[in-house]
Structure 1
Amino acid sequence: MLSSTSNIKRALRTELRERRRNLTATERDGATEAFTANLIALTTSKSARRVACYLSAQNEPNTRPFLNWAAANGVETLFPISREDGLLDWAHGDGSTEITGLFGMPEAVGEPLGPIAINDVDLIIVPAAAVDETGMRMGWGRGYFDKTLGSMQKCPPVYAVIYDDELLDAVPREVHDQPVDGVVTPTRILTF
């Protein structure tokens, strides 16, 4: 049986998915350009030479132009690969060669480096459904990034990529949920 917090999260995720689906092509294109500029600015400001970043799915903020910039500018990128045991492996990739992984999400093609490969990155960029003003992240419900972030002894800065209207006053929280250090939206980079 799901807890009341789980039910609230599920309803909020449904609403947020619908909002993303209703964005026009023009709104998506404008947001992609702005996300890219802000992700580049964040990476540059952190002097990050090794970044962990997700490959965006269809209705997520588009990370691909940023990943193309990273590849062209010598920023090494690790991509998450979902495992059936609930952990993430990591792989090098070019940001454009991909397969459909577990749950129908895009994943990089590459030799898995193991879950601890992320320990050597300078910056982690994660997807999110929403983030609140304290930095609490609500993901899409599988817990992969929460497990990864919660298991790291020395975690580099973690930024979630969300649309402006997904920065909320508060998000429902469960014991396993992990906060982020900041968010990247089309209009700003916010550090908590």
Structure 2
Amino acid sequence: MPDDPSVAKRVLRAELRERRRNMPGHERELATEGFTARLEELIGSTGAESISCYLSMPTEPNTRPFVEWAEARGIRVLFPVTREDGLLDWTVGEAPGERIGPTGVPEAEGELLGPMAINDVDLILVPAAAVDATGLRLGWGRGYFDKTLGSMGKCPPVYAVVFDTELVETVPREVHDQPVDGVVTPTRIVAF
């Protein structure tokens, strides 16, 4: 790995992105079943009644079956919406569709609730490229979640959703990186 953390991150992200792209369809389907079951367990163990969760891209751990399960049980789900200023806004996505946001990721459509809406949830689920054994999260490089988590006064538990191979020994660290409280994979829930 290169000495410069930002270069090391780019190299690792490229490798992880490629691995996700090449994952066989049947493996992805099994992982989705596992993610859904583990996330349901996490809700059961935390008693969360309001959560934030992202809408996954095709190569990411699939959060959609879990989101449908949560909404069907009356759990309030906030979805992130990217803003021009680098912050995240939030919506409950009451509109039936979704759109591709300015950064190329799927976003729920609905009334925008403002960046502070995240302060009212019981559990935050975030995407990640990898998470290390200490709970340090390697994001995808835009810093939206690091800024959001770093600005919260009282933060509820934050869990990253990654494939089993993405829970690694160490990830490159920079000053702004925010740790997570736990990780959800298709086979387990790990709290740090």
Q: TM-score, normalised by structure 1?
A: 0.97
Aligned letter for 2:132? D
1:83 is matched with 83
SS in 2 for 1:36: helix
Structure 1 71/95 Cα, relative in aligned 2: closer, same or farther at 3 Å? farther
1:24-59 deviation line (CA, Å, top 9, x unaligned): 110000000000000011011100000000000111
1:191 is matched with 191
Equivalent pair of 1:129/1:162 in contact (CA under 8 Å): yes
Fraction of identical pairs, as percent: 66
Equivalent pair of 1:132/1:171 in contact (CA under 8 Å): yes
Aligned letter for 2:70? A
Query: Aligned residue pairs: how many?
Result: 190
Aligned letter for 2:149? L
Aligned letter for 2:182? G
Q: List structure 1 segments (4+ residues) > 4 angstroms apart after TM superposition.
A: none
Aligned letter for 2:88? L
Shift of 1:93: 1.6
Q: TM-score, normalised by structure 2?
A: 0.97
Describe how 1:112-123 pairs up with structure 2 within 5 A.
Answer: 112-123=112-123
Aligned letter for 2:11? A
Correspondence 1:147 to 2:150: no
The runs of 5 or more residues in structure 1 that have no matched partner are: none
Shift of 1:103: 1.5
1:109 is matched with 109
1:65 is matched with 65
Shift of 1:97: 2.2
Aligned letter for 1:40? E
**In structure 1, what is the Cα distance between the partners aligned to 2:51 and 2:8?**
32
Correspondence 1:93 to 2:93: yes
1:174 is matched with 174
2:164 is matched with 164
